[in-house]
Structure 1
Amino acid sequence: MVQATRPYRSVLYIPGSKERALEKARHLPVDAIIFDLEDAVAIEEKSNARSLLARVLGEWDFGARARIVRVNGLETDWGRADLATFATAISAGATVDAILVPKVNGPADLDAVAALVPGVPLWAMMETAAGMLNAAAIAAHPRLAGMVMGTNDLAKELGSRFRPDRLAMQAGLGLCLLAAKAHGRVIVDGVFNAFKDDEGLAVECEQGRDMGFDGKTLIHPAQLEIANRAFAPSEAEIDLAQRQIAAFDAAEKAGQGVAVVDGKIVENLHIVTARATLAKAEAIAALG
């Protein structure tokens, strides 16, 4: 299936309890914001964060940035109140592009949330062993629009150690990628915790990009530039895509089924990729 071209190069977590951070996020060069009511909010702040965020999303303009609200799980003391608050806020005009459901183990977890927030697209946090094994069924859910890798929680559940090559994560990352691509869902990579390590972040972004992720979740604004650059088509890729399309069009007019660009065969499948590259570049440019 073909995914939408809306960019998700950078997806920044912002605590829903911090009004100053929410205000700053309106002006950051970020493609999407995850307004977090879960891990980033202390227990004693849960209620205040919920009310603050509902007001902010009803009153403030975040421009072209996608607005995703991560609620607390329904098994907690705060999940149902989160969903009730945002169902009401959305009905009153608050702009929420998706509800992000934590610790999705299977489609039933999405069913439960879908019933409480009708009509709103859902995203799934993929951060449990059960979620990895059920990734295909989760991705097939009719309300699902995106998947987010929760590599920190997954590592905790697996008991795995950090490695720069993320060897322990490869099985889970691969299963979720296959599931997302099979069903045309957006999928973004997990966070890189060392927010002052630019080189390490760049390496992990490049790995995620090369695997096929649409972008990366981030924990600090300082990480935005590296992620935006890594997940955007380069000038060389745009140039190649344009030349492939032109060469293939010329070949077709000449009655040929393939073209040659830079000594390599170009078939229709390469043109599909080339057009997607140009569409992504155009969508990024449109963000301004």
Structure 2
Amino acid sequence: MLEMKYWRSILFVPATSDRFVESALRRRADVLQIDLEDSVAPDQKDLARGRVRMIASRFAQAGYGVAVRINRPWRLAVRDIEASVGQDVAVLTLPKVPDASHVRAISEILDACEAEQGLPSGHTRLIAMIEDPEGLANMDAIAAASPRLYGMIVGAEDLAASMRMAVSEDSLYIPNVMAVAACRRAGIAPIGFVGSVADFDDPDAFRSRIRRARALGFDAAFCIHPRQADIVNEAFLPTADEVDEARQLVAEFEAQVAQGRAACTFKGRMVDLPVVLQARQLLARHQAYCPPG
């Protein structure tokens, strides 16, 4: 299973659907996210909750990372957490996070659940979803609220509805760039892209959207359709040409530094430390997904 810091694609799987569970096991997503929230009808919540451990075990045994998206109302959230915490579940995704205190309260519940399960404290990480104006205003504090935070994402549809704005690149650009900055300040993973996750009919448009997300600094994305996972994995992986050029750039810079220079020219471009850092980050991403041997 991939280390969490190298996750790219996080595919939603409705907890109540055997068909979707079986389909997910044939896909190449890095993470399969068992959904207890929007894809589960209110009268099916108990059934969905009771299936989490079985589904999580199957996903983990197949080599996937496992996440669970819980519900927001506290009475449902606590039951979801108690049903989900276990060896096989690496992450809980928290919808509609309003502020840092919400994350800390969830973390306190997790401490008790992990102790009951004989798991080390901190075993269960968190992804925070920003889906309303309050959460948007508190993104910095949310991102830094707990060591459990793995990443943060802007939930496009809920945010748009709560702010009475369109789900468009114009309306979602600023919230998403703000989220990337908040995540980088806190040292957690920025997840997402500028647009709606529900738009999956046009694979070329989705591919362009994910490539733009990588350029904006995102590390991963949620997927609601299995074919989105392949696109996300490909778009977040550096191409062979990018890797080759980055290696050449770093080698040329290091050769010039050995001769006492602090910068050099590479293919008509001035190269100094910030440029080299970007090249090394690209090579590190490639190494994470494509280890030698």
In the superposition, the TM-score normalised over structure 1's length comes to 0.89
**2:82 maps to 1:78:** no
- AA paired with 1:256? R
Identity %: 28
| Aligned equivalent of 2:140 | 136
Q: Over residues 82-131 of structure 1, what are the superposed CA-to-partner deviations in whole Å (9 max), with x where a residue is unaligned?
A: 111223xx1xxx31111111100100110111111122211101111111
Q: Over residues 152-173 of structure 1, what are the superposed CA-to-partner deviations in whole Å (9 max), with x where a residue is unaligned?
A: 111111111233xx11112211
Other structure's SS at 2:93 match: strand
| Aligned equivalent of 2:97 | 104
State the 1:204 CA deviation. 1.7
**Residues 250, 63 of structure 1: CA spacing in aligned structure 2 closer, same or farther, 3 A cutoff?**
farther
| Aligned equivalent of 2:45 | 46
Instruction: Work out the CA distance in 2 between the residues paired with 1:140 and 1:6.
Output: 17
**Residues 21, 62 of structure 1: CA spacing in aligned structure 2 closer, same or farther, 3 A cutoff?**
farther
Structure 1, unmatched stretches of 5+, are none
| Aligned equivalent of 1:173 | 176
**Residues 98, 37 of structure 1: CA spacing in aligned structure 2 closer, same or farther, 3 A cutoff?**
same
Structure 2, unmatched stretches of 5+, are 112-121
Instruction: Work out the CA distance in 1 between the residues paired with 2:240 and 2:251.
Output: 17
- AA paired with 2:100? P
Instruction: Work out the CA distance in 1 between the residues paired with 2:138 and 2:272.
Output: 35
CA contact (8 A) 1:26 1:61 kept: no
Instruction: Work out the CA distance in 1 between the residues paired with 2:199 and 2:126.
Output: 29
1:184-199 alignment, distance < 5 Å: 184-189=187-192, 191-199=196-204
Q: Which is further off, 201-210 or 249-258?
A: 201-210
CA contact (8 A) 1:98 1:123 kept: yes
State the 1:20 CA deviation. 3.1
**Whose relative contact order is higher, 1 or 2, with alpha carbons under 8 Å and at least 6 apart?**
1
**Residues 204, 123 of structure 1: CA spacing in aligned structure 2 closer, same or farther, 3 A cutoff?**
same
Aligned pairs, how many?
Answer: 277
Instruction: Work out the CA distance in 1 between the residues paired with 2:54 and 2:10.
Output: 21
In the superposition, the TM-score normalised over structure 2's length comes to 0.88
| Aligned equivalent of 2:24 | 25
CA-based RMSD of the aligned residues comes to 2.1
1:210-229 alignment, distance < 5 Å: 210-229=215-234
- AA paired with 2:136? M
**2:107 maps to 1:124:** no
State the 1:27 CA deviation. 3.2
Q: Over residues 198-250 of structure 1, what are the superposed CA-to-partner deviations in whole Å (9 max), with x where a residue is unaligned?
A: 12212321222221111221110122222222211112211111011111111
- AA paired with 1:233? P
Q: Which is further off, 193-202 or 130-139?
A: 193-202
